[in-house]
Amino acid sequence: MSVRVPHDRLAAYCGQVFERAGVPPAVAATVADSLVYADLRGVESHGVVRTGIYLKRAAEGMIDPNAPVTLVRDDGCTALADGGNNFGAHVGAVALDLAMERAKRHGVCALGVRHSNHFGTGAFYVQRAVEQGLALIVLSNASQTMPPAGGVRPFLGTNPVAFGFPTGRPVPFVLDMATSLVARGKIIVAAKRGESIPLGWAVDKEGNPTTDAEAALDGAVLPLGGAKGSGLSMAIDILAGVLTGAGYGPTVNNMYDNWAEPQNVGHFFIAIDIGRFLPLADFTDRLGRFIDLMKAEPKVPGTPEILHAGEVEHRLEATRRRDGIELPDRVAEDLIALGQTYDVAWIQ
C-alpha cells in the first residue's frame, strides 16, 4: 500500500518538521527541498525516507544546523569551504553558490568542501547550475559500504559523481550516478518494504552473493564494473576527501552506526562558464545536434526510444509534480510519527 501526496505540501511538511526540531528556516527549507527533489526524480533512496535519520543525527549533536559555512581558502578559481558539520544539503547549496559566482567571474572554479554530511542527490546541484547556463561536475564521498575490487568487507563509499550541461531544451543533460552497481539507499528502501534485491547487487558479511536486503545491509554493495567502479570511487575520494581535508575511505563516519563522531563528508564542485569556450547558444546548438544524432541511431528490438542521461528522471519529475509523490505506507507512517513528535499536522 502507499500514500500519494502533493510534492509542494510534502516539502512544506518536512520543512516544518525540521524547523520545529530547531533547524533554522532557510536550512530547513533547503534540506526538505533536497529530499523531495530526490523523490520527484525517482531516487527514493535519497528522498524523504532520510528525514528521520537526519533529525536523529541533529538531535544527537552529530549535525550542527546553526553552523556557518566558511571559506578556509579563496584564490578565485579555486577555493576550500568548511561546512561546520551542518546539514549536507545546506552545505552543498552554499558551496554551489560560491562555486557558480566564482566561475562566472573567473571562467571556472574548483571548490572543495570538508566537514559536511550526506548531501542528497548530485542532480539537485547540477540542475541549479544548468539553469544559469553553467556546466557542473559534482563529486562526493560517503561512508564505507563497498569493498574494493577483490575485497570482502566495506572499505570505500558508493561515492557519487554528477555531470550537468544545459541543452537549450526543456531537458538538460544530467548524469547522476553512484560508483556502486546500485546506490545503497535502494537496498535500504527494499529492506523497509520487506522486499528482496536482485542477485549481484550485494554480498553478505561473509562475502556471499545475496538477495536478502537486510543481509546486504550487514554486508556490502558491489562496485560498478568491478575494478573500474572501485578505481573511480577511490579517485572521487581523493578529490572530495584526501584533497579537502575531509574523511576518506573508512574514516568517513557512517550516519546510521556512528553516534560518537560527525561524518566529515567531503564534496568537490567544478563549475564551468560555458561562454568562456563557446557562446552558450552555440554550445547548446552543438549539444542538441549531438543528442539528435544519438537518438537517430538504430535501436535494439523492443526499445522504443534512445534516451540521454536525465530524460527518464525529468519525465518522472513532471508526472510527480502533476500527480503527487507516492510514498510507501511505512515511509508515510514514519513521517507522520515525526510530525507528531514535533507537533506538525500531517498533510491533508
**105-141 per-position pLDDT tens digit:** 999 999 999 999 999 999 999 999 999 999 999 999 9
Reported as a single tens digit per residue, the pLDDT across 14-70 is 999 999 999 999 999 999 999 999 999 999 989 999 999 999 999 999 999 999 999
| Cα-Cα-Cα-Cα dihedral sign, residues 216, 217, 218, 223 | positive
Say which CATH number the domain at 201 has.
Answer: 3.30.60.50
Pairing of strands 70-74, 78-82: antiparallel
Are residue 154 and residue 70 in the same domain, yes or no?
yes
pLDDT exceeds cutoff 80 at 92:
yes
Are residue 260 and residue 153 in the same domain, yes or no?
yes
pLDDT over 70, % of the chain: 100
Half-sphere exposure of 191 (CA within 13 A, CB side): 15
Are residue 198 and residue 50 in the same domain, yes or no?
no
The β-bridge partners of 74 are 79
Domain end residue (candidates: 198, 222, 246) = 222
The Cα–Cα gap between 239 and 3 comes to 40
Average pLDDT, the chain: 96
Q: What confidence tier does 193 reach under pLDDT thresholds 50, 70, 90?
A: confident
The β-bridge partners of 32 are none
Domain membership of residue 99 (yes or no) is: yes
Q: Are 217 and 120 in contact (CB under 8 A)?
A: no
Are residue 21 and residue 140 in the same domain, yes or no?
no
CB atoms under 10 Å from CB of 61, counted, come to 11
Domain membership of residue 72 (yes or no) is: yes
Those residues with Cβ within 8 angstroms of residue 124's Cβ, 6 or more apart along the chain or in another chain:
33, 34, 37, 38, 89, 92
The Cα–Cα gap between 180 and 232 comes to 10
- Number of domains into which the chain is organized: 3
Domain membership of residue 311 (yes or no) is: no
Q: Give the three cell numbers for residue 171.
A: 531537458
Say which CATH number the domain at 278 has.
Answer: 3.30.1370.60
The β-bridge partners of 174 are 164
Q: What confidence tier does 171 reach under pLDDT thresholds 50, 70, 90?
A: very high
Q: What confidence tier does 152 reach under pLDDT thresholds 50, 70, 90?
A: confident
Domain membership of residue 319 (yes or no) is: no
Domain end residue (candidates: 162, 196, 222) = 222
pTM equals 0.93
Say which CATH number the domain at 38 has.
Answer: 1.10.1530.10
Are residue 215 and residue 233 in the same domain, yes or no?
no
Looking at residue 1, its pLDDT comes to 62
φ and ψ at 290, to 5 degrees?
-60, -45
The Cα–Cα gap between 312 and 79 comes to 34
Q: Give the three cell numbers for residue 330.
A: 511505512
The Cα–Cα gap between 212 and 195 comes to 8
Q: Are 93 and 116 in contact (CB under 8 A)?
A: no
Are residue 343 and residue 211 in the same domain, yes or no?
no
Domain range for residue 239? 64-180+227-296
* The dihedral formed by the CA atoms of 310, 334, 18 and 30, expressed in degrees to the nearest 10: 0
Are residue 124 and residue 192 in the same domain, yes or no?
no
Q: What confidence tier does 153 reach under pLDDT thresholds 50, 70, 90?
A: confident
Q: How many residues does the chain have?
A: 348
DSSP state of 1: -
Domain end residue (candidates: 172, 190, 222) = 222
Q: Give the three cell numbers for residue 260.
A: 560518537
